[in-house]
Homo-oligomer: A and B are copies of this chain.
Amino acid sequence: MVALKLVNRPNKRKQTADQVSELTTNRLSVYLRCLNEVDASGVKSISSQALADRFQLNAAQIRKDLAYFGEFGVRGVGYYVNDLRQHLRQILGVDKHLRIAIVGAGNLGLALADYPGFKQEGFEIAALFDAASDKIGQESRGGVPIHDIRDLKRIVRRERLDIAVIAVPAAHGQPVVEQVVAAGIKAILNFSPGALKVPPGVKLKNVDLTVSLESLSFYLAQGES
């Protein structure tokens, strides 16, 4: 469990990860991103209302989400930006520099390998994996090496990789996930189309890019009425 220095009243720290909805953790991620920007602009403390106004968020929701993990606000001051950033980084587990493997060195895998947002948040893309002999031994533009997928287990151990990102064609999704699980990975982010199965104890998160487009098409369709 994360350590919370500023806790000064009973909170719900004992809740397990499964009880905190993914929507909440997604919002915490957004708050962290906003606080990074506030910090970069030199602001030392900010109220939930000012934060909400600046980033079009909901102030009551911010206070509620943060209160779940402890009492971070200071009366008359708001939040100390840098303190709250550190707490959010601990809560989200990104203070640990998690190491990521990307399976699939096609356009998507290569794009993700060099995605600048990951590094900024403490994720390190440590390795790419592919089965194509012309890719193995090469590296991404940003310098991430491409390994043979057959070496997955060995390299996951050697490089202490925590999370696998699946960026392979749909037909290869399930076999690749099984290799990843067999290699000891407990958290998987899947970009492959189609539903993948993982055993209990392994967390799978699907990123379906079509869902994002459909919320836009919904907007366009309703706008025509």
Contact = CB atoms under 8 A, between A and B. Distances in A.
Contact of A209 (B94, B112, B217): B112
Of A94, A170, A188, A219, which is in contact with the most chain B CB atoms at under 10 Å from its CB?
A219
Contact of A33 (B94, B169, B210): B210
A193 interface: yes
Contacts of A222: 1-2, 16-17, 20, 93
Contact of A170 (B32, B90, B116, B165): B116
Contacts of A2: 221-222, 225
A30 B214 CA distance: 10
A220 B29 contact: no
A176 B214 CA distance: 22
A114 B112 CA distance: 15
Interface stretch (A42-50, A70-78, A103-111, A145-153): A103-111
Interface residues on A, range: 35 or more
A195 B55 CA distance: 9
A59 interface: no
5 closest cross-chain pairs (CB), A and B: A93-B221, A17-B222, A1-B225, A107-B111, A108-B111
Given A2-B222, A29-B214, A116-B193, 19 more contacts: A17-B219, A20-B218, A26-B215, A28-B214, A30-B211, A33-B208, A92-B217, A93-B214, A93-B218, A93-B219, A93-B222, A107-B141, A115-B210, A117-B208, A121-B210, A163-B217, A165-B213, A187-B220, A189-B213
